A and B are shown apart, each in its own frame.
Chain A
């Protein structure tokens, strides 16, 4: 059982604040991912939990107990490092058995436990080999086995799949998720790969430059990103951000772009309140829409009313990415592989009305989502 909590933890290295007033509450049994680019503070976060770093401010709690002064060896947390750190001149068996021998366990019991763990990880045929004779994936599983056999309160893993080739990464992702489900222990998993985080996590904490951007289940991170950074951090190709102006229109509001206008009618539309909350109603905004929520047609209609031009087409096989010129801006759409479009031709777009966001241009904060506060009418302009 382990609930792990960081209470406003700050860690500095010289003048750099690697982690700034970080508050995380990781639930018992959760598969918790920490996602961010290099330098975001993910590894520092792990090292603070395991005890290899001490907070400069704030407290780390394990199961309600403050552990700032507790030695890493006493926290009962197992860590799997990116470079695995296997003992090169010990066999797989001895590598996994090491922590048990340290506890003074009997030979038979060690044999039983190591074999059981090896079977779970499909490395039971490799127990007599040494790390040099193992593939990358096999070594990875030995490192994980060495952590599991300790039956710790929680596991921490730092980009454990980063050094594996693409195919093996995909396989191991599924296996790790299954394993965590079976073991039922808390797992804190650091990665820069958003597909990994999305596919495995119960919740994702998105970090940037030491600051927590959002902590939510994958669906919420994907569909209701807190800000521009989070909206870009998950999903590929990333969210389109289309600069637009806010203008009063017939008692209501218009979000104006050269190629289209989004309208909110009436003086009490929730959009007004959302935009006013910034202090400046008409400050510029970014219309955020994911490429898979942009539909493309070769002729105009009521629904497909936003004029654009195809720049280039990127066929990925299972889907096609279309690069589009929208007025002065460049956006991407994802269309089915069967849709035939030609480069440099005019097309008409429809945005998925229930999946659009507005972000504040200056701060990047998400101000409005049509899924939460209502759709906005979209009108295309003939000559952008």
Chain B
């Protein structure tokens, strides 16, 4: 297994800068996700790790060995792509064993390894079947196994589950994580789906427009996002954003809503932070729907008042959209809370989970 280090990796296509000076480290045996919207540069980055693209500048290191000029076939990298790319005229057994056969592996050893991989992926009964007759879900498992069996030092996966149905995707997230833990293979997983990155990765690298915005654990990118892009991209339903300015009054600090009259008190730590900083007076308050609480009547904890704008029952919970001034915020409520549109709502805040962003630079102030 191998560690990966990307140093100031840059890729230009003519005038387009697809990847801009990327620095990233993936430890040996770690599961890393490259996460971002389409066009952010994540696939180009993966291709440079694989050797399928040559960087314009910068370097790729595996275990501190410089790989930048090494052709893809010699890097010891395994792939799984979105369109599973298996041999549909061969049996599942032949597909899984193919990489070993090509390397001249003896028959008995090959049988043993195939059985082991098949058990890991729970496709043992399918070994004699023709791979072309499998469901797309099972085909993807075979694709995974076929790449894994050669024990590559590094495993690259490019949105491998995006063509599969939702229930199977939920199942494979747990499976892939379990498998990765067992074989301890270094994995780099490219996706636009934040649930996939959050559920599986040890480290998430959030990218947009060729730039790496933040690289951290799921807890870090969820609870301590460095800017609005990361804060909005991670978590569903999305974080709420409200434009504000800072107001001081009688020795206390407040965030005052720009699109309405609502105000939020800030604690001493934040008051000092906001009074001492340089930067735009435009602020953006960020708070996740699960850190807001909604009631039909005011309680001692009520800080904002609004009206129900929309209501989405989702099974185990309800999302209530509350209009406050001219802003609308989403709040997670219990499954049986079903306000009617137009009914007054009272909002309470878990203030310790609030984020404050600079309205101009979009960076977090905290």
Question: A290 contacts which of B234, B290, B316 (Cβ < 8 Å)?
Answer: B316
Contacting pair B198 A314 (CB below 8 A): yes
User: Counting CB contacts under 8 A, is B319 at the interface?
Assistant: yes
Contacting pair B198 A317 (CB below 8 A): yes
> Cβ of A269: which chain B residues have Cβ within 8 Å of it?
none
User: Counting CB contacts under 8 A, is A263 at the interface?
Assistant: no
> Cβ of A194: which chain B residues have Cβ within 8 Å of it?
166
User: Counting CB contacts under 8 A, is B178 at the interface?
Assistant: yes
Query: Which chain A residue lies CB-closest to B312?
Result: A199
> Cβ of B222: which chain A residues have Cβ within 8 Å of it?
315, 317-318
CA distance A195 to B319 in the complex (A): 12
Contacting pair A315 B313 (CB below 8 A): no
Question: B235 contacts which of A181, A290, A317 (Cβ < 8 Å)?
Answer: A317
Question: B37 contacts which of A165, A315, A330 (Cβ < 8 Å)?
Answer: A165
Give B175-219 interface residues, CB cut-off 8 Å to A.
177-178, 181, 195, 198-200, 218-219
Contacting pair A317 B218 (CB below 8 A): yes
Query: Which chain B residue lies CB-closest to A174?
Result: B310
Query: Which chain B residue lies CB-closest to A199?
Result: B312
Give A202-242 interface residues, CB cut-off 8 Å to B.
218-219, 222, 232-238
CA distance A118 to B121 in the complex (A): 52
Do A218 and B178 form a contact, CB below 8 Å, given A170-B237, A199-B319, A318-B290? no
Contacting pair A312 B178 (CB below 8 A): yes
User: Counting CB contacts under 8 A, is A130 at the interface?
Assistant: no
Contacting pair A222 B170 (CB below 8 A): no
Question: A195 contacts which of B165, B198, B314 (Cβ < 8 Å)?
Answer: B314
Do A177 and B170 form a contact, CB below 8 Å, given A198-B315, A321-B199? no
User: Counting CB contacts under 8 A, is B288 at the interface?
Assistant: yes
Contact residue range for chain A?
35 or more
Contacting pair B199 A178 (CB below 8 A): no
User: Counting CB contacts under 8 A, is B321 at the interface?
Assistant: yes
User: Counting CB contacts under 8 A, is B134 at the interface?
Assistant: no
> Cβ of B314: which chain A residues have Cβ within 8 Å of it?
195, 198-199
> Cβ of B288: which chain A residues have Cβ within 8 Å of it?
318
> Cβ of A360: which chain B residues have Cβ within 8 Å of it?
none
Contacting pair A315 B290 (CB below 8 A): no
User: Counting CB contacts under 8 A, is B341 at the interface?
Assistant: yes
Chain B proximity of A199: nearest CB distance (Å): 4
User: Counting CB contacts under 8 A, is B295 at the interface?
Assistant: no
> Cβ of B128: which chain A residues have Cβ within 8 Å of it?
none
Query: Which chain A residue lies CB-closest to B37?
Result: A165
CA distance A174 to B328 in the complex (A): 11
> Cβ of B200: which chain A residues have Cβ within 8 Å of it?
314
User: Counting CB contacts under 8 A, is A323 at the interface?
Assistant: yes
> Cβ of A200: which chain B residues have Cβ within 8 Å of it?
312
User: Counting CB contacts under 8 A, is B174 at the interface?
Assistant: yes
Do A314 and B316 form a contact, CB below 8 Å, given A37-B165, A178-B341, A232-B167? no
Do A236 and B321 form a contact, CB below 8 Å, given A199-B312, A318-B290, A321-B199? no
Contacting pair B312 A173 (CB below 8 A): yes
Give B323-341 interface residues, CB cut-off 8 Å to A.
332, 341
User: Counting CB contacts under 8 A, is A311 at the interface?
Assistant: yes
> Cβ of B219: which chain A residues have Cβ within 8 Å of it?
315, 317
Contacting pair B315 A312 (CB below 8 A): no
Query: Which chain A residue lies CB-closest to B237?
Result: A170
Chain B proximity of A219: nearest CB distance (Å): 7
> Cβ of A314: which chain B residues have Cβ within 8 Å of it?
173-174, 177, 198-200
User: Counting CB contacts under 8 A, is B232 at the interface?
Assistant: yes
Contacting pair A181 B316 (CB below 8 A): no
CA distance A236 to B319 in the complex (A): 16
CA distance A23 to B308 in the complex (A): 36
Closest 9 CB pairs of A and B: A314-B199, A317-B222, A199-B312, A323-B174, A312-B177, A237-B170, A222-B315, A238-B167, A174-B310
Q: Can you name 12 A-B residue pairings with CB atoms under 8 Å? A: A174-B312, A178-B310, A193-B166, A195-B314, A198-B313, A198-B315, A218-B313, A232-B167, A235-B316, A237-B171, A311-B178, A318-B235
Interface residues of A (CB under 8 A from B): 37, 165-167, 170, 173-174, 177-178, 181, 193-195, 198-200, 218-219, 222, 232-238, 290, 292, 311-312, 314-318, 321, 323, 330, 332, 334, 343
List 16 extra interface pairs beyond A181-B341, A311-B178, CB under 8 A: A170-B236, A170-B237, A177-B312, A178-B310, A193-B166, A218-B313, A218-B315, A222-B315, A234-B315, A238-B171, A314-B177, A315-B198, A315-B218, A318-B290, A323-B177, A334-B316
